[in-house]
Amino acid sequence: MAVARRASFLFRAEAMPHSPSPTIAGLTKSYSEGHKPAAVIAAAYARLAALGDPGIFIHLVPEADALAAASRLPPFDAGRYPLWGVPFAVKDNIDVAGLPTTAACPAFAYVPERSATAVEKLIAAGAIVFGKTNLDQFATGLVGVRSPFPPPRNAIDPARVPGGSSSGSAVAVAQGIVAFALGTDTAGSGRVPAMLNDITGLKPSLGAVSTRGVVPACRTLDCVSVFAHNTADAFTVYRTMRGFDAEDAYSRAVADDHPGAVAPIRRLGIPRRADRLFFGDDAMAAAFAAALDKLVPLADQVVEMDLTPFFAVARLLYEGPWVAERHAAVRTFLAGQPDAVLPVTGQIISAAGGFSATDTFEAFYQLAALRRATEPAWQTIDALVVPTAPIFPTLADLAADPIGPNSRLGTYTNFVNLLDLAALAVPGPWRMDGLPAGLTLIGERGADARLAELAMRFEQAVGTRQWAAA
């Protein structure tokens, strides 16, 4: 393992292991100058072919069909169609009309006649579907390789896990194939892969984006998430998708805020030193410290937080009866084809049988008590800042222990949806061993725009990438 040391030189853009990629803002500018989407779409298919990674997509839209969709776009108008001509990918547990939805289980596949509400809104805004991406089967996992299909290769280091469950979506963005991609996030699936592939991952407030047309993982906690190259792009996609949907029983309205029209975040909470012992190595700890060095000057006040009640909430997600929601989502299918799921996926979902209705109510009571214990934190801080993940496992680590690394990846993510919070994962200074790192900004429900405003300022502060300093 490389030893982290203080470095004064900048991490030059040309040294990045993956190529610069088109952004929504960049494509919009290009189109405003008269360029056409056909060249962008053709380049995306060529880049995917040259990359030679068969694990990113489960289903591709034929190139001719994508070009035909581009030809049917109305005249360019960025005001009416903010995603005009922008190619995007969709996690394969989210419906796209005419394409199979498999949730990474071929025997489960069906072809929807209608797209998910989120996808409908993006297409109406001018975006063009490129394909359906690979994932941890039934969105159960944070490693990104629990799939019967070839696993996507991490965009930075193919010997490392890509992160999940939204692995294909994150890699598709990181490799510059699409400008943005949809994932889902129940336990961190829209944030962990973002960090591990050095991109941005936006997890909205619960209910802000409709989940109609999404294969449930835990229906009461699921979110449609966004992967993009920067916060501005991610928020543009989020703002296009959000809105109350009467067809989704869990849809809830949120304020139509945007980063330029909200009060900035001034009070930051950071993990107390005792809670930073979850780091797997010194390189990750140094990278988080370097990120804080860039973030802290943007605030007026920094408070060290005791995260004990947050970690207790996190344990409920997989150790408590919420796993029964995963069983409820697929129990009819499993009853008929119990051998169609991967062993690890089946092991996790089958744990639902160990909980009674009484256990479930007791867990709800425990969650309510823990939520009350965390509430005072929001009287003293505007946002909580945590590492997105404390470790960066290799594929060999996972082969030796299929469960342990997955559990540790969720250390700072598993509690967020159970506590009805919003979160935004952003890249930070890289580790000294040449791997990406990042932090996650967490706020109360409805704080999405405020988190984005702070993230944009953080991006400016980080600027050209720097090595993390010890």
Task: In whole angstroms, give the CA distance from residue 275 to residue 147.
Answer: 33
What is the side-by-side order of every strand in the sheet holding 57-60?
57-60, 128-133, 87-91, 180-185, 223-228, 200-203, 421-427, 438-444, 383-387, 267-271, 301-305
Task: In whole angstroms, give the CA distance from residue 424 to residue 418.
Answer: 16
Q: What is the DSSP string of 240-302?
A: HH-S--TT-TT--------GGGSPPP-EEEEE-GGGGTT-SSHHHHHHHHHHHHHHGGG-SEE
Task: Mark whether 169 is an active-site residue.
Answer: no
In degrees and rounded to multiples of 5, residue 448 shows phi and psi of -55, -45
Fill in the amino acid letter for 271.
Answer: P
> Of the residues 91, 121, 203, 294, which is catalytic?
91
> Of the residues 21, 189, 205, 225, which is catalytic?
189
> Of 132, 135, 137, 143, which Cα lies nearest the Cα of 192?
143
* Tokens of residue 405, six digits: 């690394």
Asked whether the beta carbons of 189 and 165 are under 8 A apart, the reply is yes
Strand partners, 467: 430
Q: What is the dihedral of CA 465, 188, 56, 235, to 10 degrees?
A: -60
> Of the residues 165, 166, 205, 251, which is catalytic?
165
Residues in contact with 468: Cβ distance below 8 Å, sequence separation at least 6, in sequence order: 4, 283, 286, 287, 289, 290, 291, 429, 430, 431, 432, 437
Task: In whole angstroms, give the CA distance from residue 321 to residue 330.
Answer: 16
Task: Mark whether 91 is an active-site residue.
Answer: yes
C-alpha gyration radius of the chain: 21
For strand 383-387 and strand 267-271, is the pairing parallel, antiparallel, or unpaired?
parallel
**CA geometry: angle 132, 135, 137, nearest 5 deg:** 120
Task: Mark whether 165 is an active-site residue.
Answer: yes
**CA geometry: angle 113, 166, 126, nearest 5 deg:** 50
**CA geometry: angle 320, 321, 324, nearest 5 deg:** 140
SS3 29: helix
Distances (CA, A) of 238 to 190, 208, 212, 449: 13, 9, 16, 10
SS3 179: coil
Which sequence positions are flagged as catalytic?
Answer: 91, 165, 189
